[in-house]
Structure 1
Amino acid sequence: MRLRRGITIGVVAAGGAVTTMLVGLVTNAVSESEWPGWLGWLQRHAWFSFAMLGGATVGLTMLLAALSETRTPQQSPEPHQPGSGTEPPGAALVLRSLPRDTAAFTDRSAELESLVRSVRISQESGSALPVHVIDGMPGVGKTTFAVHAGHVLSERFPDGQLFVNLNGHTTGRAPVQATEALASLLAATGVPVQRIPVGDDVGAVAEARAAMWRSRLADKKALLILDNAASYRQFEPLLPGGSGCLVLVTSRKRLAAYEEVVLPVAALPPEHSVDLFVRLSGRPADSLDHAVLAELVGLCGYLPLGVSLLAARLRHHPLWSAEDLRARLVAARDRLGELRAGERAVAATFDLSYRDLAPERQRFFQRLGFYPGTDLDAYAGAALGSVSVAAAREQLDALYDAHLIDEHPGSRYRLHDLLRDYARGLADEGGTMEQVQAVQRVCTYYLAALSVANGHILRGGTATPAPPGVAAQVETPPMESRTAALGWLENERANVLACIRRANSLALHELVVRMAAAMAPFLRQAGPWDQAVSLHRTAAEAARHTGNRRALAGALAEVGVVRRFMAAYPEAIEALNEAVTEYEAVGERRGKADALNQAGIVSYMIADNDAAARAQTEALALYRDIGDRLGQANALADLGMVRRQTSQFDVAVEEQTEALSIYRELGDRYGEANSLRDLGIVHCLMGEYELATRRHRQAFDIYQELDDRVHQAYALNELGVVRRLTGDLPGAREAHAQALEHYTELGERFGRANSVRHLGVLDRVEGNVTEAIRVLEDALDSYRDLGSRGGEAASLGELGVAHGIVAEQDHAVEAFQQSLEILRELGDRCGEAEVLNHWGMLLHASGDWTASRGYFEQALGLARDIRCPLEQARALEGIGRCDWMADGPAQAEGSLSEALAVYRRLGVNGAADTLERLLASQAG
């Protein structure tokens, strides 16, 4: 192989040398000097030299291609195989702090000392901390060791401790995908949902999230426990990129990782097993027969889980002796002989503990085996067990005391994987119907709790009601505020999605549809949005199975809304239009109006103003027919935005004012703020700057009250525009910079592009034209990525001005032409007038006063038609300056004086002062 590779390299090198020589010959074929020997013959036959050069190049190219094809391919990881798109999403359970340390932890001093020493050496030397893989058989105490080690080392990692269950070997649960785990980790570390990457390409999304995760922890000292991993591939994307983070991985498998430290956790030594048993049994050591204890711990394989269960049995039966316990364990082990040999002993301890429970506690424990989620509280336990919450809490506490469940922070509980297997095995003896009924009960509970939570997070508190009779069947946790509701939803997200997956697998289609609809409001704002799209596609498929066209329409509408958030506008329009069709088919007018309203918003965002106006007008008529006041306000407000975008300012003010009145009537503060902000934009365009400022400040105050930072940033941007136009450049820069900071932190791409564009305009106004061009090109790229035609046109117009200032006239004209083409297509006459004025100034600066005056006259006509006084004043000033240069000051005085009066009325004092000095010079 090496000889063949060496020969190949030699051939390639020789070919390169020949080609280089031929290039030189051909290049000098027409030179005057004669080349010696056969080289001279080549020089005299230039065409033949060209042919030889082409042949050598082709041959070399073919050789290189063959080499690339025969090169031994590098082994690549198996590609992710996404489903059909209708599989319900999963979600990883991430704890923001470590689970509680357990009293059952014993010794492991050698393993713990090895881990602590490894961490200390790495930190003291400044080298990267390796991944520590803790492996061992089920029940050996891997998770317990990892959590205990985490508590011991927590002070060394002050930037946080995270615990993730990857479900690598959890019965009834698919292993957590990297994309799901990364989304949950990013959210747990404070990344807003808008910034978490989403998309349809699973591989690309995983890479983007992994990059963001590595960046998030780049300079941090944090501890990450990845529990129950199935493979190295599963957790590799979750590894931080920085050198200061410690990662502990637990797995039943021996994982092949790079640069890892493997910490095998074996069964306890016999003497340690006996010590643990004595400590947990609550009996004096001298009261126990140590020979019997040695046999007991040997029968459960020296596994801490089995030892803990045996000790708990003895503690709960003060009249038993160790010999009594041994006899019962032997009997249980014989009964469970059909189990796999590796788990037979510990399963026998489970059976012994289970048979020691009262019958009602046995039934409760069995039903826990049907729970689809990862962890649960007393409310979910009550639904599973068909008991009251008080009774469920009592049962859970008792099972915890019996070491049959583990306690997690927040009064939550979780079954060890082996115990989950055991409980499911017991429960399966009751048949499939018992499982279906258990899943139905817990899904019904979640529907009722989601209805309560949605009452706090939806605008106007209009929650989707739970199905009839559900509220009377179950108890729901107290949620007295929006904050409490969001906290509950965040904690239960993974469990609710797991329940939907299980319901879907059991063909409980009606439950799938209802739960997806109930989760929609939270996933709209909390995401991740790719999870939301997957969920609603699942709901749509479930609705098709049942023939429920109303539910199908609702699911499609939610897909459209989330796709809009993801800036996937064509897919959003397609889903919303399909939803409109389905709503029409079932005569559901409110749903149709909602879908039309959302479709109109998408059309507005891509500046398809005709389509947006049609959709909002039809939605408004439907809302009025059914008496939906909030729907009317929404449609009016969105229609007003379309009117403003098409320079119909009077109509825009009328429609927004009506919407504002309805929002105030309904007490909808969010809608009120939105209408105030858009009214501020219109008043700014109409030159009413004082009123515009007042509206924007009112909107900003409400957004602050609502803790809505995205819309605070929008209000700040609009305030910055007014400040720039009235000459307060420092105030404008402060507002735009603050808005940009908010947008960047929250991942709001469209708002960020707006802030960048406004800052570019400020750079140009302040004379930093080179920086202005760079910043405006950045904004232009962002708008094009987002498909925002209006933003693209605005950036091109400003780039034309900047290029004109640095005498790049061709670039300026090209930018103006592109901008005008888009603006005319969109019907934005105010923007068109602005660009025409800019182009007029460019021509004026070049001395072509006749052509310049023509552009100013076009701008003046547009500005007067739409009542845009600022562009009117700019056009009058331009006409006056052209007349001044062509015909003298006397001819220009009328236009310049009129422009001066408009500038003064608007408060644009900088431009007014300049004109005043010009007119004064003529008078002098």
Structure 2
Amino acid sequence: MRLRQGITIAVVAGGGALTTMLVGLVTNAVSSQSRWPGWLGWIQRHPWLSFVMLGVATVGLTALLAALSESRGPTLSAEPPPRPKDDAGPPGAALVLRSLPRDSAAFTDRSAELERLEVSVRASQERGEALPVHVIDGMAGVGKTSFAVHAGHVLSERFPDGQLFVNLNGHTPGRSPVQAVEALASLLAAAGVPTQQIPVGDDVDAVTEARAAIWRSRLADKKALLILDNAASYRQLEPLLPGSGGCLVLVTSRKRLAAHEEVVLPVDALPPDDAVNLFVRLSGRSADTLDRGVLEELVRLCGYLPLGVSLLAARLRHHPSWSAEDLRERLVAARDRLGELRAGERAVTATFDLSFRDLTPERQRFFQSLGFYPGTDLDAYVGAALGLVSVAAARSHLDALYDAHLIDEHPGSRYRLHDLLRDYARGFADEGASMDHVQAVQRVCTYYLAALAAANTHIVRGDAVAASALDIAFRVEPPPMQTRPAALSWLENERPNILACIRRANSLALHDLVIRLAAAMAPFLRQAGPWDQAVGLHRTAAEAARHTGDRRALAGALAELGVVRRCMAAYPEATEALNEAVRQYETVGDRRGKADALNQAGIVWYLTADNEAAARAQSEALALYRELGDRLGQANALADLGMVRRQTSQFDAAVEAQSEALLIYRELNDRYGEANSLRDLGVVHCLMGEYERAARQHREALDIYRELDDRHHQAYALNELGVVCRLSGDLAGARDAHAQALELFTEFGDRFGRANSIRHLGVLERVSGNATEAIRLLEEALDAYRDLGSRGGEAASLSELGAALGNIGNRDGAVEAFQRSLEILSELGDRCGEAEVLNHWGSLLRTCGDQAAARERFERALTVARDIRCPLEEARALEGIGRCDWAVDRPVQAAGSLRQALAIYRKLGADPAADDIERLLTSQPG
């Protein structure tokens, strides 16, 4: 390609030079001012013919350049190309996914099966038909997974939008099959969907259906390949199937699955010749040096199964002094010892036994310990805890077991056991030749407690779970986690393994470990989700605490359950759990625990606008924190109390509480708390009309959130900054801030924050004159607030909705909205909100010509606004009174009210409103 382009460029350059020369010669010939020598004189003597030659050359070059342009594609447009549509995915999500395991070096010839699969796929694609599900079935050890993975790599170019692999644990010893709802969460996360955007809830069927809908939407119009390995039933995998007919699904299972429109690809034992060839290739020896008859007997003894053949070959490769006959004798002896097993498993297990006996005693014990690991995959650190060895020794053992084909290698220096090998390793417990199962689980759980303590130092505010507090009878070496991103990455990778360990510990009645692990996982699950997973964990911890009678642990589990329920906007359930936590803490005399639970309960009551209960809870929590000398607790309670005071329009008290909290946060160097207090101070100062100060505080908070890489709270700061921009007249800046916040809230699945952003955008549309769009947005926000039980949000939406309905002449609808909003605001004690609604209502009545009723609403708003010192609503009320007086021909009284409003508007920096009043005042003489 480059050579062809180079030749073309050279031709164009040469042609350009020739054209230039011809132009010069022709010009010179026409001028007749000089004579050219040789053949150039002919051109000079025939000038018109030279012009013809020039034209031909020009046309030729033009055609050549056009052809070159076409071959290189269309010319660049001044506008950027349109972005591909992917409505199901968040911004920045990866469109192409690669998660297939490495293709096995032990894969042997399966040309017939592979050809059948390729023909089936190619035929469907060429006919434009939906690809059927392809089920690969066969007995254990026959190589179903290896075939599926190999086929995935072979077919990857036909499915450029991604290749995904999911192990469903349908037949994994000691583990329950993966539920569809859990597998969908993993698939959505792998496809770039943030965990907070993945649906959660108590109704498993409903959550499964919701997640499946997103998954199908994610793969709509895509060509992707999905391998569902080790499936237990069609019911398990059905929700995981993409809706797009362009996606290929390969399913492996030991059972015959009844799927609709399926293509079954049975994978049987290898043909004898293929099994022998595989053995020779993996043994590392020349076929000429091996007795063919003995090889045929060896592969027959292991059932012609690829797993058994590869293990036998590895034994011979690792023992150069052995002959094939030596290996045969050992295999026969092992096979006789395991004769009680079924034929297929007997053959494979005999090879396991032979490989196992070839290990050193130390390595045998290490391998046995792996059989008790509840998780799916493990690294050297987990291996060290299981085997009671150093990490270096565990790494050496794992490498050796991999070389011996007793474990499989996975990306990230991780390993896993084949299901049959796991079963084989666990079988030693029945023979009394292995460490106790309970001890193994205790060791790995204790390791995870220590590792979680290290991770939590980077993600928990205040005191993390301390490793020194653990009862560790052996040395634990957690992996290095020097930064917050490293800790979060480790937690995300180990999450399924830790949860599996907790389930196993719970089944073994290791209640203390269940309680501790749940508490240690709580900070991560609280912020990363999925929250329904966290709910299940904390319920399990609560039941474990009830079994042991540990009321303090029960209170802790209930408190965490309440926090997660609050994150899910399940406020009644959150309140119930937190109230019970408070009672349990009181029973055991744990004042700090009680203060923490009260603080969290107060937040829930604040969110549901039960301001009296919220203020009472935060005040009680603050008193307890002060008694304990807990500075961080004091700051948290003060900050949350300040939010309650602000919500009830007690602005001076709110500023006082938040300012004290801010000082403590800065004293403790708690950047997160500092940002939160700055943000809420900005809200209060905005309500007080101090827009410049409010904007500065919101930007400071936003900068800190960005420094902390906390995108969730960045969204809250952006929303508040957008409000200040709107009130200052910067509608474009407001729109940009709210749009960014909406995008982030949608990504994180924060329904309350998303409703706030939609409401603010609705207000922007109203003040911009787009009443129809404003109504649509405000009704959407209203529905969301009602679903969440947020009465404050409902009242705010009704207030703005009434104003928008009034703008399109729907007076009855507007009045109904105002009345309902005032009822809620009166119950909540939000006097600032009442003043705003009264001003909206007054404006509606004034435009309808009812000046007396309008003036009455404005006067009520003015009284409330001055009482709580809310200058914006005071100015709006004064403006409304002045305009009413102006309409009934009372210019003197009108001018007085309008000038007062003008002065306040100018002081606030609300220039558009001030300019309107100035124009009105100057429109009349005198």
TM-score normalised by length of structure 1: 0.88
CA RMSD of superposed structures (Å): 1.5
Q: Secondary structure of 1:521's match?
A: helix
Q: Secondary structure at the match of 1:470?
A: coil
What does residue 885 of structure 1 align with? 887
Equivalent position of 1:616 in the other structure: 618
1:207-254 Cα offsets, whole Å, 9 max, x none, are 011111111222333222111000111011011122332221110011
2:700 is matched with which residue: 687, 698, 701? 698
CA 1:432–1:400: 2 relative to 1, 3 Å = closer
Q: Which amino acid aligns with 2:637?
A: A
Q: Which residue identity lines up with residue 350 of structure 2 in the other structure?
A: A
Partner of 1:358: 360
Cα offset, 1:376, TM superposition: 0.8
Residue 139 of structure 2 aligns with an amino acid whose one-letter code is M
Higher mean C-alpha deviation, range 147-156 or range 208-217: 147-156
State the one-letter code of the partner of 1:553: A
Task: Answer whether contact 1:564 1:602 (CA < 8 A) is retained.
Answer: yes
Q: Which residues of structure 1 form unaligned runs of 5+?
A: 1-94
> Structure 1 residues 818-827 or 347-356, which shifts more?
347-356
- Report the counterpart of residue 154 of structure 2 in structure 1: 152
Q: Is structure 2 residue 906 aligned with structure 1 residue 904?
A: yes
Q: Counterparts of 2:483 and 2:756 in 1: how far apart (Å)?
A: 34
Aligned partners of 1:663, 1:130: CA distance in 2, in Å?
59
Q: Looking at both structures, which has the greater relative contact order when contacts are Cα pairs under 8 Å and sequence separation is at least 6?
A: 1
Contact 1:370 1:427 in 2 (8 A): no
334-343 vs 641-650, which moves further: 334-343
Of 430, 434, 437, the residue aligned with 2:439 is 437
8 Å contact kept, 1:373–1:498: yes
Where does residue 720 of structure 1 map in the other structure? 722
Instruction: Quote the Cα distance in structure 1 between the aligned partners of 2:474 and 2:688.
Output: 56
Match of 2:794 in 1: 792
Taking the aligned partners of 1:281 and 1:395, their CA distance within structure 2 comes to: 21
Q: How does 1:58-137 map to 2 (within 5 A)?
A: 97-137=99-139
Q: Are the aligned partners of 1:464 and 1:518 in contact in 2 as well (CA < 8 Å)?
A: no
1:577 maps to which residue?
Answer: 579
CA separation in 2, counterparts of 1:156 and 1:712? 41
The answer for the alignment partner of 1:183 in structure 2 is: 185
Q: 1:474 aligns with which of 465, 473, 476?
A: 476
Which of 807, 810, 819 is the matching residue for 2:809?
807
Shift of 1:432: 9.4
Which residue matches 1:252?
Answer: 254
Asked if structure 2 preserves the Cα contact closer than 8 Å seen for 1:224 and 1:245, the reply is yes
| Secondary structure, aligned partner of 2:888 | helix
Shift of 1:332: 1.1
The equivalences for 1:620-639 within 5 A come to 620-639=622-641
Report deviation, 1:863: 0.3
Alpha-carbon offset, residue 727 of structure 1: 1.4
Cα distance in 2 for residues equivalent to 1:332 and 1:146: 31
The residue that corresponds to 2:320 in the other structure is 318
2:651 to 649, 652, 660: 649
SS in 1 for 2:249: strand
- Shift, 1:898, TM fit: 0.9
Report deviation, 1:508.
0.7
Q: Distance in 2 between matches of 1:212 and 1:188?
A: 13
2:825 corresponding residue in structure 1: 823
Q: CA deviation at 1:105?
A: 0.4
2:489 aligns with 487
Partner residue, 1:662: 664
Residues 175-220 of structure 1 deviation map (CA, whole Å, 9 limit, x = unaligned): 1111111112112222122211111111101101111111122233
What is the CA–CA distance in structure 1 between the aligned matches of 2:915 and 2:399, rounded to whole Å?
Answer: 80
Aligned position for 1:7: none
CA–CA distance in structure 2, aligned partners of residues 433 and 506 of structure 1: 15
Residues 365 and 434, structure 2, Cα contact 8 Å, conserved in 1? no
Q: Distance in 2 between matches of 1:618 and 1:490?
A: 37
Offset at 1:122? 3.3
Q: Which residue of 866, 869, 876 maps to 1:867?
A: 869
Q: Secondary structure at the match of 2:498?
A: helix
Distance 1:468 1:519 in 2: 15
SS at match of 1:267: coil
1:294 shift after superposition = 0.5
Provide the residue aligned with 2:412 in structure 1: 410
Alignment check: 8 A CA contact 2:678 2:698 kept: yes
1:391 corresponds, among 390, 393, 405, to: 393
SS of alignment partner, residue 155 of structure 2: helix
Deviation (angstroms), 1:472: 6.1
Shifted more, 513-522 versus 875-884: the winner is 875-884
Q: For the residues of structure 2 that align with 1:265 and 1:433, how far apart are their CA atoms?
A: 37
- Measured against aligned partners, the alpha-carbon deviations of 1:125-150 in whole angstroms (never above 9, x if no partner) come to 44322222111110000111111112
- CA-to-aligned-CA distance 1:460-490 (integer Å, 9 cap, x gap): 5634445345396211111111111111111
Paired with 2:293 and 2:851, the residues of 1 have a C-alpha distance of: 111
How far apart in 2 are the matches of 1:665 and 1:154? 56
Question: Following the alignment from structure 1 to structure 2, what is the Cα–Cα distance between the partners of residues 100 and 265?
Answer: 20
Inter-partner Cα distance in structure 1 for 2:564 and 2:713: 18
Alpha-carbon separation, structure 1, partners of 2:507 and 2:490 = 25
For the 8 Å contact 1:451–1:466, the answer to whether it is kept is no
**Distance of 2:212 and 2:240 partners within structure 1:** 7
Given that 2:369 and 2:435 are in contact with CA atoms closer than 8 Å, whether structure 1 keeps it comes out as no
Query: Which residue in the other structure is 1:88 paired with?
Result: none
Partners of 1:201 and 1:561 in 2: how far apart? 19
Alignment-derived partner of residue 30 in structure 2 = none
Q: Mark the runs of 5 or more structure 2 residues left unpaired by the alignment.
A: 1-96
For residues 211-230 of structure 1, the aligned pairs below 5 Å read 211-230=213-232
**Comparing 109-118 and 166-175, the one that deviates more:** 109-118
Answering whether residue 445 of structure 2 is matched by residue 446 of structure 1, we say no
Query: SS of 1:680's equivalent?
Result: helix
Of 331, 343, 346, the residue aligned with 2:345 is 343
- In the TM superposition, what whole-angstrom CA distance separates every residue of 1:490-538 from its partner, at most 9, and x where no partner exists? 1111111111111111111111111111111111111111111111111
Structure 1 residues 464, 796: CA separation in 2 closer, same or farther (over 3 Å shift)?
farther
Does the residue aligned with 1:473 lie in a helix, a strand or coil?
Answer: coil
Out of 155, 169, 172, the residue aligned to residue 170 of structure 1 is 172
State the Cα distance separating 1:96 from its structure 2 match.
6.0
| Contact in 1 for aligned 2:368/2:434 (Cα 8 Å) | no
C-alpha displacement of 1:712: 1.4
Partner Cα separation in structure 1 for residue 270 and residue 642 of structure 2: 73
Q: Among the aligned pairs, what percent are the same residue?
A: 81
CA distance, structure 1, for counterparts of residue 101 and residue 201 of structure 2:
33
Contact 2:452 2:520 (C-alpha < 8 Å) held by counterparts: yes
Cα distance in structure 2, aligned partners of 1:909 and 1:249: 66
> What is the letter of the counterpart of residue 414 of structure 1?
R
CA deviations on 1:412-470 (whole Å, 9 max, x unpaired) are: 11111111111111133228971111111111111111110111111256344453453
Q: Distance in 1 between matches of 2:480 and 2:566?
A: 33
- Give the 3-state SS of the residue equivalent to 1:617 in structure 2: helix
The amino acid of 1:226's aligned partner reads L
1:595-617, CA deviations, whole angstroms, 9 ceiling, x for partnerless residues? 11100000011111111101111
Q: Measure the CA separation in 2 of the matches of 1:321 and 1:694.
A: 81
Q: How does 1:599-610 map to 2 (within 5 A)?
A: 599-610=601-612
2:839 and 2:857 in contact (8 A); partners too: yes
The answer to whether the Cα contact below 8 Å between 1:369 and 1:427 also exists between their aligned partners in 2 is no
Q: Distance in 2 between matches of 1:187 and 1:526?
A: 11
Q: Give the deviation of 1:124 after TM superposition.
A: 4.0
Structure 2 distance, partners of 1:694, 1:808, is 39
Flag the 1:141–1:910 CA change in 2: closer, same or farther, 3 A: same
Deviation at 1:289, TM superposition (A): 0.6
Of 574-583 and 335-344, the range deviating more from structure 2: 335-344
Query: In structure 2, how many angstroms separate the alpha carbons of the residues matched to 1:408 and 1:884?
Result: 80
Secondary structure of the corresponding residue to residue 922 of structure 1: coil
Q: Do the aligned residues in 1 keep the contact of 2:453 with 2:464 (CA within 8 Å)? A: no
Instruction: Name the SS for the 2:469 alignment partner.
Output: coil
**Aligned to 1:219, what secondary structure does the other structure show?**
coil
Q: 2:519 aligns with which of 517, 526, 542?
A: 517
Determine the C-alpha separation between the residues in 1 that align with 2:148 and 2:617. Answer: 57
Deviation at 1:173, TM superposition (A): 0.3
1:235 aligned partner: 237
Aligned pairs, how many?
Answer: 830
**Greater shift after overlay, 270-279 or 760-769?**
760-769
TM-score computed with the length of structure 2 as normaliser: 0.88
